[in-house]
Amino acid sequence: MTDLGWIDPILGAARPRVMGALLRYFRSLDTAEEAFQEACLRALKTWPQNGPPRDAAAWLILVGRNAAMDQVRRQAKQTELPDEAVLSDLDDAESSLADRLDGEHYKDDILRLLFVCCHPDLPATQQIALALRIVCGLSVKQIAQAFLVGEAAMEQRITRAKARIGNAGVPFETPGAPERAERLAAVAAMIYLLFNEGYSASSSREAEARKPLAEEAIWLARLLLRLFPAEPEIMGLTALMLLQRARAKARFDGEGNIVLLEDQDRSLWSRPRIAEGLALIDKAMRHRRPGPYQIQAAIAALHARAQRAQDTDWAQIDLLYANLERLQPSPVVTLNRAVAVSKVRGPEAALEMIEPLGARLQGYFYFHGLKGALLQQLERPQEAREAFGRAIALANTPAEAAHIRHHLDRLSC
Amino acid sequence: MLYAILCYNSEEAIGSWSKEYHDETMTKLYAVNDKLARQGRLGPVARLLPTTAATTLRKGREEMVIDGPFAETKEQLLGFYVIDCTSLEEAIDTAKELAKANPGTGSYEIRPVAEFHPSQLADEKQPAT
């Protein structure tokens, strides 16, 4: 660690606010990024001597804006554009800069910056990559490593995403309440997608590579929560991710294979993450405005609160899944509920519950895996074997297949 | 004389620390703690969860429970309690009890504790009551 180790976190923390403001001035992601880079270079030059400014973000916005304006002036001269046309607009920006920095403006700046990355024209993978590059400030190389793709391919993905956004246009007017709620929901969905991308690893090695994705998702959720501290769904989302992430160390065994929730060594769960997740879900519940993230977080909280797997409050989990089914009907939610039902009312009731899902979930690995497990409990080995066979054929990863094979082994002895 | 040292920093910046920088800094801080403990000069030490986990009880004619940390700049930090609660509800109830004993203006910020080290003060240096 160099002596300048304290500067990077300050630059990283200021990044969303500074990029948000620069995007508002220049209305171009590329210009905003260049301006931010330039401001960071100057910070690295002057802060070690002068110490950090009291408001690092305001300093970076001013320096970045001035640097970019110099650049615009130079380019304007080269192409012999009338200076005034460019400058009057920018001077205008300068006069109101102080007001804008003092006001609540920066919340919408950061939300806009995040929202730009969630543009509906962009496929999910591009949304996430762009957010990691633009908002979190990860390098293309870091993002490529986390997605397990080549650097050139990732560079291209990000460039394409930026071009699409440039063509589609970015909404710069200050949003009204309904637009703000809509943006917030889109950003929350993107953050959870990013988290799942980091969570969906099938081996401990893959999980290690993808770890930054989950960490950045939590970082973004906290950022959002500081901007909108009274939104129960944002509390729920943050809690959900913290509670799931708390299990990271217990998810793989010594050989790097997946360990299921009920078999995990709970002493490996991260206590601080659980404490923070539980505190947030407690806060969210007080609002009595339940939503899908809060319910999922409440389910994760019940797992976190159980000292041992057999202490899990499955009846409560069943109720929560029933609520989730009402709010967000989906066969996958019902499938998850069936696991709780099998614990509370037995495998027969659970099997009855998932049978009607067969048509819609016939290509889904977990459906056949759960069906096999329930049939096994009901001592119907022939049908169980058949269901496990289908699950293996549909397994997405060798780890999933190995897990089902393990069940099959138990059936044959 | 007992002194409280209150730690302030940008939690966004702390949240951006790399694991290496975090571990290195904690090691250096624990070294200071250890020295103070050996000298019998170290009282309780706590690290708080982020302000996103905070709830504030605002005193007044009508008490208000607000999401987020204490944000008023015209009031000063005058003291703190560390209490054991089974839920946020219980913590809020406790704060309300304090507000009843000491009504009027002011706030109680309720912040979960992430890490707590009990007092290692030498006996004779326990605060006089």
Complex ipTM value? 0.85
Mean pLDDT of chain B: 90
Specify whether A152 is located in the same domain as A198: yes
Interatomic CA distance for residues A361 and A353, integer angstroms: 13
Specify whether A46 is located in the same domain as A150: no
Q: How confident is the model at residue A85 (pLDDT cuts 50, 70, 90)?
A: very low
Provide the number of CB pairs (under 8 Å) joining chain A to chain B: 69
What is the model's pLDDT at position A87?
A: 40
User: Has residue B13 got a pLDDT over 60?
Assistant: yes
Specify whether A119 is located in the same domain as A218: yes
Q: What is the pTM of this model?
A: 0.86
Read off the pLDDT of residues B52-76 as tens digits, 9 standing for 90 and up.
Answer: 999 999 998 889 999 999 988 888 9
Does any domain span residue A263?
A: no
What is the model's pLDDT at position A94?
A: 44
Specify whether A237 is located in the same domain as A182: no
Does any domain span residue A189?
A: yes
Q: How confident is the model at residue A11 (pLDDT cuts 50, 70, 90)?
A: very high
Task: Determine the straight-line distance between the first and last CA of chain B, rounded to whole angstroms.
Answer: 12
Q: How confident is the model at residue B14 (pLDDT cuts 50, 70, 90)?
A: confident
Find the domain containing A141 and state its range. 112-168+178-227
Does any domain span residue A375?
A: no
Specify whether A139 is located in the same domain as A222: yes
Are B21 and A9 within 8 A, CB to CB?
yes
Q: Which residues pair with B109 in a beta bridge?
A: B56
Are A225 and B52 within 8 A, CB to CB?
yes
Read off the pLDDT of residues A102-116 as tens digits, 9 standing for 90 and up.
Answer: 456 788 889 889 988
Mean pLDDT of chain A: 87
Specify whether A121 is located in the same domain as A46: no
Of A60, A84, A103, which closes a domain?
A: A103
User: Has residue B92 got a pLDDT over 90?
Assistant: yes
User: Has residue A101 got a pLDDT over 70?
Assistant: no
Q: Closest CB to A12: pick one of B16, B53, B112.
A: B16
Specify whether A211 is located in the same domain as A276: no
Interatomic CA distance for residues A31 and A65, integer angstroms: 10
Q: Does A272 touch chain B (CB under 8 A)?
A: yes
Q: Which residues pair with B57 in a beta bridge?
A: B65, B108
Are A222 and B55 within 8 A, CB to CB?
no
What is the model's pLDDT at position A396?
A: 78
Interatomic CA distance for residues A340 and A319, integer angstroms: 9
Specify whether A140 is located in the same domain as A218: yes
Specify whether A164 is located in the same domain as A221: yes
- Residues of chain A with Cβ-Cβ distance to B18 below 8 Å are 8-9
Q: Does B55 touch chain A (CB under 8 A)?
A: yes
Closest chain A C-alpha to B88 CA, distance in angstroms: 6
Weakest mean pLDDT among A108-117, A157-166, A174-183, A296-305: A174-183
Specify whether A120 is located in the same domain as A212: yes
Closest chain B C-alpha to A352 CA, distance in angstroms: 37
Q: Tell me which residue has tokens 């082994």.
A: A409
Are A279 and B88 within 8 A, CB to CB?
yes
The stretch B86-95 carries a mean pLDDT of 94
Does any domain span residue A386?
A: no
What is the model's pLDDT at position A1?
A: 40
Q: How confident is the model at residue A413 (pLDDT cuts 50, 70, 90)?
A: low
Could you tell me which of A176, A199, A180, A198 has the C-alpha nearest to residue A188? Answer: A180
What is the model's pLDDT at position A121?
A: 83
Q: Closest CB to A10: pick one of B13, B55, B65.
A: B13
User: Has residue B129 got a pLDDT over 60?
Assistant: no
Does any domain span residue A340?
A: no
Are A272 and B115 within 8 A, CB to CB?
yes
- Residues of chain B with Cβ-Cβ distance to A289 below 8 Å are none
Q: Which residues pair with B107 in a beta bridge?
A: B58
Test mutation, B10, B14, B16, chain A, max A CBs within 10 A: B16
Could you tell me which of A276, A243, A272, A260 has the C-alpha nearest to residue A309? Answer: A260
User: Has residue A197 got a pLDDT over 80?
Assistant: yes
Cβ-Cβ contacts under 8 Å for A402 (sequence gap 6 or more): A257
- CA nearest to A222 within chain B: B52
The stretch B28-53 carries a mean pLDDT of 95
Read off the pLDDT of residues B41-51 as tens digits, 9 standing for 90 and up.
Answer: 999 999 999 99
- Residues of chain B with Cβ-Cβ distance to A52 below 8 Å are none
Specify whether A60 is located in the same domain as A86: yes
- Residues of chain B with Cβ-Cβ distance to A8 below 8 Å are 16, 18
Specify whether A117 is located in the same domain as A203: yes
Residue A136 corresponds to which tokens in the numbers above?
């979190």
Q: What is the DSSP letter of A258?
A: B
Of A49, A73, A103, which closes a domain?
A: A103
| Percent of residues in chain A assigned helix, strand, coil, to nearest 5 | 80, 0, 20
Are A223 and B12 within 8 A, CB to CB?
yes
> Who wins on pLDDT, A256 or A193?
A193
What is the model's pLDDT at position A216?
A: 92
- Residues of chain B with Cβ-Cβ distance to A219 below 8 Å are 15-16
- Residues of chain B with Cβ-Cβ distance to A276 below 8 Å are 49-50, 53, 112, 114
Q: Does A9 touch chain B (CB under 8 A)?
A: yes
> Who wins on pLDDT, A98 or A282?
A282
Read off the pLDDT of residues A367-409 as tens digits, 9 standing for 90 and up.
Answer: 999 999 999 999 999 999 999 999 999 987 777 788 788 878 8
Does any domain span residue A392?
A: no
pLDDT above 70 as % of chain A: 91
Q: Looking at the 3D structure of chain A, how many domains does it have?
A: 3
Q: Does B13 touch chain A (CB under 8 A)?
A: yes
How open is the CA angle B117-A298-B90, to the nearest 5 degrees? 50
H/E run at residue B26: helix B19-38
Q: Closest CB to A279: pick one of B12, B49, B68.
A: B49
- Residues of chain A with Cβ-Cβ distance to B12 below 8 Å are 13-14, 223, 226
The stretch A66-75 carries a mean pLDDT of 85
A53-61 contacts at long range (C-beta below 8 A, 24 or more positions apart): A56/A10, A56/A11, A56/A13, A56/A14, A57/A14, A57/A17, A57/A18, A57/A106, A58/A101, A60/A11, A60/A14, A60/A18, A60/A36, A61/A17, A61/A18, A61/A21, A61/A22, A61/A97, A61/A101
Q: How confident is the model at residue A208 (pLDDT cuts 50, 70, 90)?
A: confident
Q: Does A13 touch chain B (CB under 8 A)?
A: yes
Cβ-Cβ contacts under 8 Å for A265 (sequence gap 6 or more): A250, A259
